[in-house]
Structure 1
Amino acid sequence: MITQDDDAEILAQARAGFIDEAHEMLQQFEDAMLVLESAPDDGESLNAAFRAAHTIKGTAGLFGFDRVVHFTHEAEALLEALRSGERPLDEPVMTALLESRDQIGRLLAELGDPDGSPETEALGRELVGRLRVLRGAEALSEPEPAAAAEAAFAPESAEAVRPVWHLSLRFLPDALRAGLDPLAFLRYLNKLGEVIAIRTLVEAVPPLDEIDAEACHLGFELRLQSETASLADIEGVFEFAAEDSDVRILPPGSAPAAFESLVEHRCGDDAAARATLLSIWEQLGLQFALRESVAPPAEPDAEPVVVRHIERRSAEIAARSDRRSGEGDRRQQGRDRRAGDETRFVRVRADKLDHLIDLIGELVIAGSGAQMVAHLERSAPLQEATERVMTLVQETRDGALALRMVPIGETFGRFQRVVRDLSKQLGKEIELVVTGGDTELDKSVVDQIADPLMHLVRNSLDHGIEPTADRLAVGKSATGQLRLNAYQEAGAIVIEVSDDGRGLARERILAKAIERGLIPHDADLADSEVWQLIFLPGFSTAEAVTDISGRGVGMDVVKRNIEALRGSIQLFSQTGHGTTTRIRLPLTLAMIDGFLTMVGGVHYVLPMSAVGECIDVPPEHGASPERISGTFNLRGEILPWLDLARFYGVEPTPLAAGARRSVVVVRHVDQRVGLVVDRLMGEHQTVIKPLSGIFSHLKALAGSTILGSGDVALVMDIAGLLVHAQALSRSSPSTLARNRA
């Protein structure tokens, strides 16, 4: 039995679903408008923007979100003027529509507040005024001439003053099965005007013992009085019901031929049905002389353009639905609607997906424990069974992680609007070029990388790309180029933000660093070391503080946020040719394939993607066993080595007879380091868990994990280890002795 509490919960879930869908529609709206800015004749993009706005308005109306409905209606009306050719697309229209998108977003954010904030209301009133002026609201509100209709129909006096639309509705049998509520559509019409007369047709309802409770047999004839509603507004009400209804709309002042055509469509050769329909119209207020029969329908040209238009719109909607479901012949095959359409996507709450990943992580740990028990029992059948289970667990883990993988192109797409607005604000011509948008990474990483990318994009637009005059003076094109690129490399994802601007000013950076006492006057730094100075807190060489950048509080935050994701950031620049910022991130933050080692009785896990090879301890280490770090020759290449036991201030694990320590060569970006460990223990599926704040003083650790035995293993931060290894390898022996952890 369904209770009121159940209804409330269902409604709350539906509203939450509407908000999610509305934000998706807003993004589609913005993307379509940005395409139109460079291709004003792109009719498909214009239709996409209109559909997005109409979907938001229609669904908001079903939930009673009137503020969203009323404002979105104004933006939709301007889009309809663009579609009909009554208004060209120019800069004022583009700006107003993009600002309307932002206003709808603000209204959605205030759905919990029925009155809304005064600032949002003021912005809305100002925008509505601009939208109406741009579309010529006065001209659109004038009703069509009614002189031709008055020859056969003499409407009531009120209709002569205010325009009245005639709607003839027939819902098809599958309407209820498809989740449609005829009453909801009729209620929504009252938002466009006033339903002054309505008649429900029940002649098609079968006898009670033959009725199908899930089938719909209702029809309606009604009169809608409205001074502001347009054809697009009214037909849009029934857009979602296009597949399961037959809707005919006659505008105010329709000619007699329009009504004659409608009678022919509804009744055909059935004289009794014709007489009944004419009687109903008379009861609705249409005054005319009843005739024995209605004249034959007019030639096709006389059929109201309204009917043809809504049929075309219905066909477009049906075709779009067919493309989405991949079943264009669904209706012809008569599939039972109760079974539902084949769906390709399922909307899942993020917290449920996170819970699934957590459970699979625990399953991985439990599987490792079972595998260890099987190994200790020395039972071949048990070991074989646990191996099979672990194979399935690994496949399940990979499949679950794949559910969280999303293309980064969605994040890149958000910067189209940023580049457009800031380039106009700065008076620069800038083109955004996006490549690698289909590269996938974990949704949690995508969410956290958006803000750092925003800092980098704004810096490139403000400081990197020169004004047009400066570019022309040095022989560059007037239009600057900002590039966003992503690709996978060695188990990580690389994101590059590049511009073709002036590049970083090495001398200015050095001067600022010397001025602040960060480096000595005689410091001899490589370019890569100079660029790293930019990431120091508060460091900025901007000559003026702007609303866009130059406050010195951005790049250090960028680096800190990226390192929190176990990533790294590098800068590359060439004077006069531009700057590239390269970000390297792990594909996922939840689980990794690891390589298990032991140092000083503690287990350490190295990301398998970073492990290059394992070798014996080099002679250079044996010559100075008390040192923390040094360098060694690996097949002609000089690499730093780092003794993890000395680094963490513990004694190496005593080795069994004949055993020896090893070096694991790991790489990060284009750098490598040899890590001296006590024991190599092989591959290990690693569920990464965060370390508590009390362990924040420990160096170069990215987290922890639980082994099958119940022991805790520490996950190494390879980037942090490289920094320490390089710093220690350049230090003197006396300094090294003091650098124990």
Structure 2
Amino acid sequence: MSFEDEMKAALDTFVVESRELLQDMEDGLLGLEHDPNPADSIGAIFRAAHTIKGSSGLFGLDHIVHFTHVVESVLDMVRNEEIPVSAEIIAVLLPCRDHISTLVDGIAAGILQETPEQHALGEALHVQLRSFLNGAGQSQVQVVSQENEQTPHTSGGGAMDSGNWYLSLRFGADCLRNGMDPLSFIRYLSTLGDVVNLLTVTDAIPEIEKMDAETCYLGFEVVLKSSASKEAIENVFEFVREESTIRIVPPNSKIDEYIDIINNLPDDTELIGEILIKSGVLTKHELDECLRLQAQRHKGADGKASEAPIGEILVKQEMLQQPILNAALNKQQQVKDTKAREKQNIRVDAERLDKLIDLVGELVIAGAGANLRANKTNDVALLEATGEVMRLVEEVRDSALQLRMVPIGTTFSRFQRVVRDVSIELGKDIALEISGGDTEVDKSVVDKIGDPLMHLVRNSMDHGIEVAALRAARGKPAQGTLRLNAYHESGSIVIEVSDDGGGLNRDKILAKAIERGLVMSGANLSDKDIYALIFEAGFSTADQVSNLSGRGVGMDVVKRNVTSLRGTIEIDSEMGVGATMRIRMPLTLAIIDGFLVGVGDSSFVIPLDNVIECLELPRLEVGDEYMDLRGEVLPFIRLRQLYDVPGTVPRRENVVVVGYGEHRAGLIVDCLLGEFQTVIKPLGKLFQHLQGIGGSTILGSGEVALILSVSSMLSQVTRKSKQNYLQNG
């Protein structure tokens, strides 16, 4: 892999991890106002900003470092309770989070430099942040500039008076192999202050024939003029701390600390001494004293060396207090625990996962073909072997699909921000309640359900939940409630968007539908049929057009998108109480367990989760459209007639009783062929208008079978039954 490819891979990882941190940051900010103990959340938000800033510095993304540094400073003051948590500070920090997200999106698009528009927006946000920094009752915190202005940093350990820090850095041999650029750490140091002097140490470089191009031999002696805290400077090297030797001496430290540094320096102590003197770290007298004490320590009265170096990172003796040491040890253990957990997880590219699912699908088809041919041979040993192969293929299929299953709560949590922003825009007080967030669904479904949910949420907030005055008049609390819920039901996932608003106005919807010619005047429709009219294209009952709704677009898009996912949507509503939009969709869009049936020479696959039972068709009269199923009236569909399948009707037919939600029906077929693992192949655009067909699959014999969409077929049955009822009175 070339250096360019490695950098691109590293940047891709940076983008993915930054987006995750930004989502965590948004979730934390949204919950901050109502958190009785916000300290942990504030700490998590601060760490997210700090990590993004640090990672950006490693890649030389100075514009992200520049902007995030100020955000970090404000968060640090919030963390230290110098700035109180309030709606005002959150209202500023959320757009700042969005701006960082925009900058990261630019990196993902290959834009590594800040655009003029981004710079202008960043400066405008900095102005808002400065108002909090300057009004916090502390000494004004200066904002870091692109020209490396001096920036006090108060991360954790508290700011110190500006002085010269001495850093002795020896990077690990595998630093380059691990994707780290030593110079990026020096660039990042410059965001905390001014690099007064820099000496590159190359004494570890071997003879040229023994050199390894991927091994790092570099070290640096750095003098940094900064008022940053020691913790802030240490955190610069967080990503290389374990494999490198980092020694940090604060300004005005004791002579002993410099002696220990000099003990571990290369042979050229004269050059190091000159740097220390010119930088104002030590006077010439102090340096002479260091060298004298150094010589005494290396050779005691008995001629033996004494006193080992102090350690990897030096601190003042007065800082060696037990609480500080305990905190440092706890933090070190937390880092180790985090890295141990990270080793248990790996990040897999989505395209590779999709490729795996495709290959498993082909394996399912090939396995079915082998099993079919084995059945024709009547070879017991071969049947056992193919049966075992099919069992293993099924396990591989389930495991592969499980890799793509993700909790829907990730999608739900993103609506916290939507509800907050839209509430402010509408002038309403609305709270979001989430339940069933741990319900798992295929990632392909999660990716495609976001837009429909967005329309439903915004519609409920705009049309459903009333303004505070109207709610008070109806005896409701001033704060409205929007609920997102998810659960599994019969092999499907059900997602509900509910509100405690005014509900749908049945009469108003019906009148509008009659006015537009969607319904005949005098038609006898159920409440659910009337509610379903809001999904017609261009349909709206809004008295006024707003930025959110009222133009008659959106709800028809919701239904179209849900239908494309082989799902359905229905509405429950009660005037003055509220409404619930309920979406039902399959758990996965790739592979399903199916039940294979035959009609003439054609084969059809019914999703197994929709199959309730199978039975022989009882004797019916000509023209019957219903049958008696143990005292229950069951409508049925003859697949031969529905799809115009040629051939002679067999003497004995079968009924497959299917269900979806609360609806039931029977499908009349010629023969039952048993369970079948089905790889779903989408229909081409030419056939997407077909009702009752959810896709196709390839059988083991090589033939194509249509996969039935039970939800669509049951909708047809329901409509047909109502038409017959209206026609026959």
Range into which the TM-score falls when normalised by the shorter chain: 0.7 to 0.9
Shift, 1:190, TM fit = 3.3
User: In the aligned structure 1, how far is the partner of 2:239 from the partner of 2:83?
Assistant: 27
- Structure 1, gaps ≥5 residues long: 144-161, 328-341, 737-741
User: Please, what TM-score do these two structures have when normalized by structure 2?
Assistant: 0.85
Shift, 1:678, TM fit = 1.2
Counterpart position of 1:459: 459
1:340-419 equivalences under 5 Å are 343-419=343-419
Whether 2:627 is the aligned partner of 1:632: answer yes
Instruction: Return the match for 1:128 from 126, 133, 142.
Output: 126
Equivalent position SS for 2:239: helix
Shift, 1:74, TM fit = 1.8
Counterpart position of 1:319: 333
User: In the aligned structure 2, how far is the partner of 1:184 from the partner of 1:309?
Assistant: 33
Shift, 1:51, TM fit = 1.4
Whether 2:709 is the aligned partner of 1:717: answer yes
Counterpart position of 2:540: 540
Instruction: Return the match for 2:80 from 74, 79, 84.
Output: 84
Contact 1:239/1:314 (CA < 8 Å) preserved in 2? no
- Write out per-residue CA displacement over residues 488-511 of structure 1, whole angstroms, 9 at most, x where no aligned residue: 111111111111111111121112
Counterpart position of 1:56: 52
Counterpart position of 2:148: none
Shift, 1:99, TM fit = 0.3
Contact 1:62/1:188 (CA < 8 Å) preserved in 2? yes
Counterpart position of 1:331: none
Shift, 1:632, TM fit = 1.7
Equivalent position SS for 2:594: strand
User: In the aligned structure 1, how far is the partner of 2:724 from the partner of 2:216?
Assistant: 88
Change (3 A) 1:42 1:169: farther
Shift, 1:426, TM fit = 1.9
Shift, 1:317, TM fit = 5.1
Counterpart position of 2:576: 576
- Write out per-residue CA displacement over residues 174-211 of structure 1, whole angstroms, 9 at most, x where no aligned residue: 77486655433123323444422134567899999999
User: In the aligned structure 2, how far is the partner of 1:211 from the partner of 1:358?
Assistant: 46
Which range is displaced more, 468-477 or 380-389? 468-477
Change (3 A) 1:113 1:301: closer
Amino acid at match of 1:578: G
Amino acid at match of 1:464: G
Amino acid at match of 1:97: L
Counterpart position of 2:482: 482
Shift, 1:447, TM fit = 0.2
Whether 2:609 is the aligned partner of 1:613: answer no
Shift, 1:729, TM fit = 3.4
User: In the aligned structure 1, how far is the partner of 2:68 from the partner of 2:326?
Assistant: 23
- Write out per-residue CA displacement over residues 415-473 of structure 1, whole angstroms, 9 at most, x where no aligned residue: 11111111122222222111111111100000000111111111111121112222222
Shift, 1:600, TM fit = 3.2
Counterpart position of 2:258: 263
Contact 2:59/2:184 (CA < 8 Å) preserved in 1? no
User: In the aligned structure 2, how far is the partner of 1:418 from the partner of 1:314?
Assistant: 39
Equivalent position SS for 1:686: strand
Change (3 A) 1:225 1:276: closer
Equivalent position SS for 1:595: strand
User: In the aligned structure 2, how far is the partner of 1:406 from the partner of 1:719?
Assistant: 24
Equivalent position SS for 1:139: coil
User: In the aligned structure 2, how far is the partner of 1:42 from the partner of 1:66?
Assistant: 31
Shift, 1:140, TM fit = 2.1
Shift, 1:240, TM fit = 2.3
User: In the aligned structure 2, how far is the partner of 1:310 from the partner of 1:239?
Assistant: 18
Counterpart position of 1:663: 655
Counterpart position of 2:166: 167
1:240-319 equivalences under 5 Å are 240-245=239-244, 247=246, 254=251, 256=252, 258-260=253-255, 262-263=257-258, 266=261, 281-282=276-277, 284-288=279-283, 289-290=285-286, 291=289, 292-293=292-293, 303=317, 315=329, 318-319=332-333
User: In the aligned structure 2, how far is the partner of 1:217 from the partner of 1:389?
Assistant: 54
User: In the aligned structure 2, how far is the partner of 1:7 from the partner of 1:606?
Assistant: 52
- Write out per-residue CA displacement over residues 256-311 of structure 1, whole angstroms, 9 at most, x where no aligned residue: 4x3446337657999x99999867622544352233549999xx997576999997
User: In the aligned structure 2, how far is the partner of 1:130 from the partner of 1:118?
Assistant: 19
Which range is displaced more, 724-733 or 197-206? 197-206
Shift, 1:531, TM fit = 0.9
Contact 1:29/1:48 (CA < 8 Å) preserved in 2? yes
- Write out per-residue CA displacement over residues 227-268 of structure 1, whole angstroms, 9 at most, x where no aligned residue: 8x67675444223234445656566xx4x4x34463376579
User: In the aligned structure 2, how far is the partner of 1:56 from the partner of 1:187?
Assistant: 15
Whether 2:469 is the aligned partner of 1:497: answer no
Equivalent position SS for 1:239: coil
User: In the aligned structure 1, how far is the partner of 2:70 from the partner of 2:392?
Assistant: 55
Counterpart position of 2:699: 707
Instruction: Return the match for 1:29 from 25, 28, 46.
Output: 25
Amino acid at match of 1:477: P
Equivalent position SS for 1:100: helix
User: In the aligned structure 1, how far is the partner of 2:42 from the partner of 2:726?
Assistant: 71
Whether 2:131 is the aligned partner of 1:139: answer no
User: In the aligned structure 2, how far is the partner of 1:212 from the partner of 1:114?
Assistant: 30
Equivalent position SS for 2:502: coil
Shift, 1:163, TM fit = 4.7
Equivalent position SS for 1:34: helix
Which range is displaced more, 661-670 or 198-207? 198-207
- Write out per-residue CA displacement over residues 515-556 of structure 1, whole angstroms, 9 at most, x where no aligned residue: 212222222222111111111111111111111222211111
Contact 1:80/1:232 (CA < 8 Å) preserved in 2? no
Change (3 A) 1:58 1:306: farther
Contact 1:433/1:483 (CA < 8 Å) preserved in 2? yes
Contact 1:567/1:584 (CA < 8 Å) preserved in 2? yes
Amino acid at match of 1:389: V
Change (3 A) 1:730 1:416: closer
Change (3 A) 1:735 1:507: closer
Counterpart position of 1:592: 592
User: In the aligned structure 2, how far is the partner of 1:301 from the partner of 1:402?
Assistant: 50
Whether 2:664 is the aligned partner of 1:672: answer yes
Contact 2:70/2:143 (CA < 8 Å) preserved in 1? no
Counterpart position of 1:698: 690
Which range is displaced more, 318-327 or 572-581? 318-327
- Structure 2, gaps ≥5 residues long: 145-160, 298-306
User: Please, what TM-score do these two structures have when normalized by structure 1?
Assistant: 0.84
User: In the aligned structure 2, how far is the partner of 1:687 from the partner of 1:98?
Assistant: 44
Which range is displaced more, 692-701 or 509-518? 692-701
Change (3 A) 1:591 1:279: same
Equivalent position SS for 1:472: helix
1:719-738 equivalences under 5 Å are 719-732=711-724
Amino acid at match of 1:36: L
Q: Report sequence identity in percent.
A: 46
Contact 1:60/1:66 (CA < 8 Å) preserved in 2? yes
- Write out per-residue CA displacement over residues 606-643 of structure 1, whole angstroms, 9 at most, x where no aligned residue: 00000011122233xx311xx4x712221111121111
Shift, 1:480, TM fit = 1.4
User: In the aligned structure 1, how far is the partner of 2:207 from the partner of 2:357?
Assistant: 54
User: In the aligned structure 2, how far is the partner of 1:264 from the partner of 1:39?
Assistant: 49
Between the two proteins, the alignment pairs up a number of residues equal to 684
User: In the aligned structure 1, how far is the partner of 2:329 from the partner of 2:456?
Assistant: 45
Contact 2:168/2:261 (CA < 8 Å) preserved in 1? no
